[in-house]
Amino acid sequence: MLVVDLTSGRMRRVEIPPELLSAYLGGRGLGVRMLRGPHRLSPFDPAMPLIFATGPLCGTPAPTSARLSVVSRSPLTGTAYDCSAGGRFAFRLRAAGLFAIRIEGKSARPVALAVTSAGEEILPADALWGKTVGQAVRALSGRGSVAAIGPAGENGVLFSNIMMGEGNAVGRGGLGAVMGAKNLKAVVLDGDLPTPIADRERFDRARADVMRLFRASPVIFGELGISEYGTPALVDLMHQRRMAPTSNFRRTVFDGSGAYSGPAIRAAYGAEKEGCFGCPIRCKKRASDGRPLPEYETVSHFGALNDISDLHAIVRSNDACNDFGMDTISAAATLSAWGESRGRFPSPDEVVPLLADIAFRRGEGDLLAQGSRRMAEALGRPELSMSVKSLELPAYDPRGAYGMALAYCTSNRGGCHLRAYPVSHEILRKPIASDRFSFSGKARMIKIAEDVNAAVDSLVACKFAFFGASLEEYAELLAGVTGERHVPQGLKEIGERICLTERFYNAENGFIRADDDLPARFFREPGSEGDGIEVPPIDRARFGEELTKYYRIRGLSDDGSFPDPAFLDKQP
């Protein structure tokens, strides 16, 4: 691991204790473990680490594993925070001979960190400060794969991203602002060191099993799946299921969604396949001019959530967020809440100028840059923020999937769909369908899925792989790489340790049961019924009952607290 102190400029390569890798795998788990101690610091405290951590599969041909997690404390949510990202950056990190980079301190001047297998250096970046992500990437790409912040990160926008040069984002929780607070504009990596595989035959067999399952999955390689259409393949499905958040979650069906569906984007932009390094799925889509095309969450939130059905305007909004280095979900949701507060959602032509105002914190953009919760509170309309723990909800209306409703609240990083990802079984029927309008069994399902996904985020693999494969096959891949025995149950137990550690950090930072709650709208107002589907408000009492069950299953007290205050001391 490379440890960088930007205050002093000192850098050193250190060994990661093997017992920590055994107990936390890598990626999210390792990052969360390394956050122990500084987890109580302010996200903008120079001593707060910003950790880039790959997993044990990175650098191998394990499908979807050229990924890393970036871990710190979120300035938007105040929670422990991690985000998994693909592209080529993670692969280059391993090829530079590193498993992780831990960055602390604050540089006196803007800098970039350049790392190769031969060594590392801190470069002056005054000339890059103020530049867009695209400009910074172009300036540095001769040195390797780039992760950079844009003006939003520099200016402390609470939902600013770290952007990979290939268009992938370290999104949602504002880690771009943490990087910006360190005066770190970019990290650029290069190298050519291979990652060893201990048991090649075992690894190859497991890889073949994974690929067979990918081919058997309609969501992955089906003719209507994400390999063909990218995640916007979900637009039509969410419309049909009547759970597409519309008009700041006042409705759940948007009649104009066909304008930005997967087929519509393909027709308008060509949508060539693009993937993270070595990924066989290649769900990213790129326009014929090379621009990354928006994901499902982005088209739905810049679309339905803001009552916009102009595809080109949505694509421009996506471009702007990518260039300014901002999270599309939070940006669009904050604009939507603001739109409801003033009685009018932004018009298609108003969105990009507003995004620029946010990134540079000009005019009303300064307020919007704080995210929907702080913005709505400042306007005296806190009920308009559709967020959990200040993280704006993505494009799955919780009234249409009760596991999702619960998972938004139990997620340690706030209102995120990816922690437990119940959309997989409640909507996409993988690995099996569950009743989306029932809470029965959901507490257990969410707990297990959170543990599984914490392990997946620590391997680090892409969650889309699990629309086909399971931990069974990924445990075998891990066994092939390490030469040690791994089984799914053991990985789930590691995932459980990670989830509880994150929750403990949050509890120490003042999070309580009341923070594990949805906006009141979902308990009071119905969604948009039709086509034989009713979308009633969520039953608050039943929701609360299931949340209590979740705590009990997790070994917590009924108020969500830890019965053992020494929990953390007992963890490796």
Partner 1 sequence: MRKMIEKYAVKLLRDRSAAPGRVGFAAQDDRMVEGGAPDLSRLAADVLSRLSCLGMVAAAPSLPFPELLVRRSPAGSSALVPLDTETRTFLHDIPFLRRGELGADPAGKIAALLSNRKGAIAEGIGIFGAGTVTLEQAYIHYSSVHHAAYVKYLMDVLQDGFLLPEEEEAFQAFREEHLTAPSAEGLHFRPGPLEEPGEILAEIAAIGRYTVERGLVDSCFGNISYRAGGTIYISQTAAALDELAGCVDPVPDDNRSTAGITASSELPAHRRIYEATGARAILHGHPKFAVAMSMLCGEEGCPVKDCWKDCPRVRMLGDTPVVAGEIGAGGLAASVRRVIGASGKAVVYGHGVFTVGREGFEEAFRAMAGVEAMCREEYFRRLDARRRAGPGQSKSE
Separation between Cα atoms, residue 154 and residue 177, nearest integer Å? 6
Tell me: does residue 176 bind partner 1 (CB under 8 A).
no
Choose between 70 and 238: whose C-beta lies nearer to partner 1: 238
Q: What single string gives the DSSP state of each residue in 223-257?
A: TTSHHHH-GGGHHHHHHHTT---BTTTTBS--GGG
Count residues near partner 1 (CB under 8 A): 55
Tell me: does residue 369 bind partner 1 (CB under 8 A).
no
Binding part of the chain for partner 1, among 126-134, 219-227, 282-290, 371-379 by CB under 8 A, reads: 219-227
Of 15, 19, 201, 223, which lies in the binding site for partner 1, with binding defined by CB under 8 A?
Answer: 223
Shortest Å, Cβ 496 to partner 1: 7
Binding part of the chain for partner 1, among 15-23, 66-74, 91-99, 428-436 by CB under 8 A, reads: 428-436
Of 16, 448, 525, 537, which lies in the binding site for partner 1, with binding defined by CB under 8 A?
Answer: 448
Shortest Å, Cβ 448 to partner 1: 5
Q: In the window 452-471, what residues touch partner 1 (CB under 8 A)?
A: 452
φ, ψ for residue 166 (rounded to 5)?
-85, 0
Tell me: does residue 440 bind partner 1 (CB under 8 A).
yes
Tell me: does residue 475 bind partner 1 (CB under 8 A).
yes
> 332 with 249: CB under 8 angstroms?
no
Separation between Cα atoms, residue 257 and residue 101, nearest integer Å? 41
Binding part of the chain for partner 1, among 43-51, 336-344, 371-379, 483-491 by CB under 8 A, reads: 483-491
Q: What single string gives the DSSP state of each residue in 67-101?
A: -EEEEEE-TTT-SEEEEEE-SSHHHHHHHTT-SEE
Residue 78: closest CA among 180, 184, 158: 158
Pairing of strands 100-104, 50-54: antiparallel
Residue 250: closest CA among 307, 171, 167: 307
Separation between Cα atoms, residue 110 and residue 182, nearest integer Å? 8
Choose between 216 and 520: whose C-beta lies nearer to partner 1: 216
Of 274, 472, 508, 517, which lies in the binding site for partner 1, with binding defined by CB under 8 A?
Answer: 472
Tell me: does residue 219 bind partner 1 (CB under 8 A).
yes
Shortest Å, Cβ 238 to partner 1: 9
Residue with tokens 């790959």: 54
Shortest Å, Cβ 513 to partner 1: 16
Separation between Cα atoms, residue 2 and residue 116, nearest integer Å? 11
Choose between 74 and 412: whose C-beta lies nearer to partner 1: 412
x-marked contacts with partner 1 along 177-216 as a string, rule CB under 8 A = --------------------------------x--xx-xx
Who's near 113: CB < 8 A, 6+ residues apart?
4, 101, 103, 120, 121, 122, 123, 184, 186, 187, 188
Q: What single string gives the DSSP state of each residue in 492-536?
A: HHHHHHHHHHHHHHHHHTT--GGGS---THHHHS----BTTB--P
Tell me: does residue 436 bind partner 1 (CB under 8 A).
no
Of 221, 302, 474, 543, which lies in the binding site for partner 1, with binding defined by CB under 8 A?
Answer: 221
Shortest Å, Cβ 147 to partner 1: 32
List Cα–Cα distances, 297 to 86, 266, 333, 525, in angstroms.
17, 17, 10, 22
Tell me: does residue 234 bind partner 1 (CB under 8 A).
yes
Tell me: does residue 237 bind partner 1 (CB under 8 A).
yes
Residue 86: closest CA among 288, 371, 281: 281
Footprint of partner 1 (CB under 8 A) = 209, 212-213, 215-219, 221-225, 229, 233-237, 239-240, 261-263, 425, 427-434, 440-441, 443-445, 448-449, 451-452, 472, 475, 487-490, 492-493, 496, 548-549, 552-553
